Structure 1
Amino acid sequence: MVPTAISQEDIVPVESVPIENNVPNDSVYFADVLVRGQPIFQIGSLAEIDARQRAATVNRRIASLLAQNQPLEQVSVNPDNPRKIATLQVNNRVLMTVTEQDAQDFGLEVDSLAQKWADQLNEAVDKPPLAIDVGQRLYGTVRQLIRNTIGNLPSIIGAIIVVGLTWGAATIVRYVAFTWAQQTEGDSSSEILIGRLSYGLVWVIGSVIALGVLGIDFAALLGALGLTSVAIGFSLKDVLSNYISGVILLAARPFRINDQVVIDVYEGTITQIQLRATTLKTYDGRLVYIPNQEVFQASIINNTASPRRRSSVIVGIDYDADIKEAQQVIYQAVNSIETVEKNPVPEILVQELAASTVNLEVRFWVDSRRTGFLTTTSIVTEAIKKALEQANIEMPTDIYTLVFRNSPNQRLI
């Protein structure tokens, strides 16, 4: 097993050094030089030392250097031409000696072989295996995080206390603001707006204080956010537009909850007003969620902004009928219905002289709610028809007269 942490335990014992061939111990000719458990190259035996013992010594020196916290220099080659050897050194320590026997074993010059091994060692030290590198980085990061956490523990505890106090204060302020809005505004939309804005304002103040306790410069944070404000603005443009439009709608109040409105192609009753979208329930029972940006840009018809709403009915009477009498009959019929408002009084106006009828427009005021509006209009229409029939005032249908000019008399056989 190859250890992942770099310590004195990384020194590879003699028994664990891999060998080239499965031969007796006294006949080992080559052994591997290891860096972090990975074989880099092989060195051979000398007259006075076995290859395995020689590699173990080199591996021990490499492991001891890697276990130190100080940075490692590049492996350098120091040739000794009179003796026909070269030494590999790092941090003023000799790692190994390249001899003439090594050069003969690999068919290279001493200096060339030494430089080749030095390059291989430098590459292995600078680029550790992925698993070892990731493990080292993770270990260092976690250890640094623990140290920072312990060092900043008072600030963290203080920030947590500030967050807790902010939550409590925001809850209390929202309750007080909502209660005050209920007593003064009398509109649920405004109450929701005031409660949410006060709650959010307290959280903004508390967040600034918590960041200060943690030692974060709020001005510097705003500057950093300013660098990315353009990208954030483009990516959250629609979301922010909906929220801003929602605040304006709640403040301007073109409609309230339970108002019956027409927004673009949708008509129904307002059931909920949120900062992002407005919920409308159509008269056939469907729920429509309209983004506040679309609501803000659309033309809004509020049918229940006033408690009363005018309705009208068109009635066609015969040309031979007395218009004044017909108006009097219609007025009495409309005025007898309890759900029709007495003030303003109903109006009966001559609207059009049609082809076969004189069209009268009957105007009257009723409850602005849709149910009362439709029901009363239907009752008025039925009462006008019955009253005109009882007064023997005809309501003819359209009559078309066909005139044939210059047509010769022909006899059909």
Structure 2
Amino acid sequence: MICRFLLNSFPRSNQRSSSRLNRWILLWSLVIAVVCLTSFVPTDAQAAPSPDTVKQLIQINDPSSVIDIEIQGSVVHLNGSVTEQASKERILQTIAALPDVTQVVDNIHLQPIAPLSLAPLQQDAEQFWDKALLYLPRLALGLSIFLLLFWLSHPLARLLISPLAWVTKSELIRLVMQRSISVLIILLGLYIFLRLAGLTQFAVAIISSTGVIGLILGFAFKDIAENFISSLLLSVQRPFKLGDVISVEGNLGVVKQVTARATTLVDYDGNHIQIPNATIYKNVIKNLTANPRMRGHFVIGIGYDASIRKAQDIAMEIMSDHHGVLADPEPQVLIKNLGPSTINLQVYFWVNAETHSVPKVASILMRLLVRAYEANQISLPDDARERIFPQGIQLVTNGHPQDETPLNTIQSTEHNSNKAQESLEDTHNETSDDISSDTDDIRQQAAQSRDPESGANII
């Protein structure tokens, strides 16, 4: 009907053109009819699953399986073997669950478990033995060189550092250099042994890791390394020696021991004080025995009614006559300041600290000066104070009109007489005063006491 409709719609004037057109119309009508018929024809055929998908699923469930895959439409044939029954069941269930699979043909069998065999181990052992026999001469040579260098490391190190004795006398410097050279010689022997054994890369790794390990240890033990380096610098510069009296950060004492970590002082109370070497090196060090001459000083105040020149001359005469005071440098008596009630004199004197004690000499000089000023009527007043007597002062006499001498005048005369007598006694006993230095006593106590920590002196 469609063809007839198309034929009637064209004019019949041109018979040839219409016949050609009829053939084209007929052809297209057949094509349209076939398409329409195929679209309504029911079919049970489904698309086949992808082989790659099936292979991926099998590998996921059992990577060690050996299975061949054959796909016919929606039917999947599996031929091969797996290691476990559980793996087989998982593979079948996973593939059967695919939407494009209608049937799974199971031709999978379990792989037999091979018995334990020592053949591979035996083969490896034989190969190792063959290689060992091949490298045995080189191993023996490398081991001999390593043991020889290990045995000769200390003598060689001592021989190599012998010129250091001309440069420094520090035992610590020589010890550190000797140990460092010994370690380098041992590492050289280890490198030669590994190189002859065929472990060149391992030898290079060991040598390289030595520096890395040293860097790591340096950061980890920063304080210890700082004290050790400070001990090296103290050993080289030698700002003090054993037995010297030094003062560091308010700690005064005799140097007893200097190790690679700390310096031990024995103070004048007999206490052991350990100070880290880094602290000593970074702070001010006062060495009191580097120069045996030490200056002592004290202040004494005289009244404003006294003669300043006379007081200075008396002090100079007393210090010049005392055997503990050095004549060179000469002592001095200077005016320090003017106080509320006294003129304060600063007395300077020098002593030999190796034989005399500065505090003892200062004590004796102050005692002699006080007695000399009292004998020469030079007043030593205290600070000015105001005293108020609301009821007045009652004078007491002896009760006889002819004798009007006050009692306080008599007592003052007797007091001055007693002071003069004490001054003569002080002058007479001056030679018996103990002015010896305490440093020797502290040194003896330090020598007799136990060491607070192990380790030899480095200075």
- The TM-score, its normalising length taken from structure 2, stands at 0.51
Residues 266 and 313 from structure 1, CA distance in 2 versus in 1: closer, same or farther, beyond 3 angstroms? Answer: same
Q: Separation in 2 of the partners of 1:287 and 1:153?
A: 55
Pair 1:191-2:170 in alignment: yes
| Aligned equivalent of 1:346 | 331
Deviations 1:201-260 (A, max 9, x none): 542552354234324678765543455565444212222222222212222222222221
Task: Give the 5 Å matches for 1:11-50.
Answer: none
Contact 1:303 1:369 in 2 (8 A): no
Cα pair distance change 1:326/1:276, threshold 3 Å: same
Q: Which residue of 1 aligns with 2:267?
A: 282
Matching of residues 99-118 of structure 1 within 5 Å: 114=110
In structure 1, the residue matched to 2:147 is 160
In the aligned structure 2, how far is the partner of 1:261 from the partner of 1:303?
Answer: 6
* Partner of residue 377 from structure 2, selected from 374, 392, 406: 392
| 1:146-188 C-alpha deviation (Å, 9 max, x unpaired) | 969966333223222212212123456678856x67xxx7xxx
Aligned AA (2:185):
G
Give how far 1:295 is off: 1.7
* Residue 60 (structure 1) aligns with: none
Change (3 A) 1:388 1:160: farther
Q: CA deviation at 1:353?
A: 1.1
The correspondence for 1:210, drawn from 184, 189, 193, is 189
**Aligned equivalent of 1:50:** none
How many residues end up aligned between the 2 structures?
285
Corresponding residue for residue 55 of structure 1: none
Separation (CA, whole Å) in 1 of partners of 2:157 and 2:382: 70
Aligned AA (1:328)? D
Confirm or deny: 8 A CA contact 1:193 1:251 kept in the other structure.
no
Task: Return the alpha-carbon distance in structure 2 between the equivalents of residues 75 and 251 of structure 1.
Answer: 72
Contact 2:247 2:286 in 1 (8 A): yes
**How far off its partner does 1:384 sit?**
2.4
| Residues 272 and 403 of structure 1, relative CA distance in 2, 3 Å threshold | same
Partner of 1:53: none
Q: 1:349 offset after TM fit, Å?
A: 0.5
Q: Does the 8 A contact of 2:173 with 2:235 survive in 1? A: no
User: How far apart, CA to CA, are the structure 2 residues paired with 1:174 and 1:337?
Assistant: 54
* TM-superposition CA deviations, 1:33-52 (whole Å, max 9, x none): xxxxxxxxxxxxxxxxxxxx
Contact 1:334 1:384 in 2 (8 A): no
When residues 370 and 170 of structure 1 are mapped into structure 2, their CA distance, relative to the original with a 3 A threshold, is farther
Q: Alpha-carbon deviation of 1:282?
A: 2.3
Hey, what's the Cα distance between the residues in 1 that align with 2:341 and 2:164? 65
Alignment of 1:319-338 (within 5 A): 319-338=304-323
Secondary structure of residue in 1 paired with 2:229: helix
Partner of 2:296: 311
- Find the residue that maps to 1:152 and give its secondary structure: helix
Q: Give distance in 2, aligned partners of 1:236 and 1:309.
A: 42
Q: Distance in 2 between matches of 1:367 and 1:169?
A: 48
Partner of 2:238: 253
Cα distance between partner residues in 1 of 2:373 and 2:179: 64
CA contact (8 A) 1:246 1:274 kept: yes
Structure 1 counterpart of 2:370, which letter?
K
Which of 172, 179, 197 aligns to 1:200? It is 179
The structure-2 alpha-carbon separation of the partners of 1:156 and 1:381, relative to structure 1 and needing over 3 Å to count, comes to: farther
What runs of 5+ residues in structure 1 fail to find an aligned partner? 1-73, 90-108, 126-135, 405-413
**How far 1:75 sits from its partner (Å)?**
6.2
Higher relative contact order (CA 8 A, sep 6+): 2
The CA distance in 1 between the partners of 2:193 and 2:132, in whole Å, is 16
Separation of aligned partners in 2, 1:191 and 1:228: 28
Among 283, 291, 310, the residue aligned to 1:298: 283
Structure 2: distance between partners of 1:400 and 1:377: 29
- Deviation of the 1:315 alpha carbon: 0.9
Q: Distance in 2 between matches of 1:206 and 1:378?
A: 63
Q: CA 1:210–1:350 in 2, change beyond 3 Å: closer, same or farther?
A: same
Q: CA deviation at 1:398?
A: 1.6
CA deviations 1:259-315 (Å, max 9, x no partner) are 212211322122222232222222222222222222222222222221111110111
Deviations, residues 321-347 of structure 1 (Å, cap 9, x unaligned): 111111111112112222222100100
State how far apart, in whole Å, the 2-side matches of 1:209 and 1:231 are.
22
Structure 1 residue corresponding to 2:342, chosen from 348, 357, 375? 357
Change (3 A) 1:207 1:378: farther
Contact 1:263–1:299 (Cα < 8 Å) also in 2: yes
Aligned to 2:7: none
SS in 2 for 1:241: helix
- Residue type at the aligned position of 1:390: A
Aligned mates of 1:206, 1:227 — CA distance in 2: 19
Q: State how 1:9-158 maps to structure 2 within 5 Å.
A: 114=110, 152-158=139-145
Task: State whether structure 2 residue 225 is matched by structure 1 residue 240.
Answer: yes
> 2:378 corresponds to which letter in structure 1?
I
Give the distance between the partners of 1:192 and 1:377, measured in 2 at CA.
41
Q: Which amino acid is the alignment partner of residue 213 of structure 1? A: I
Confirm or deny: 8 A CA contact 2:246 2:254 kept in the other structure. yes
Identity %: 26
Q: Any idea what SS the aligned residue of 1:214 has?
A: helix
Unaligned runs of 5+ in 2: 1-62, 69-77, 84-104, 390-459
Amino acid at match of 1:203: S
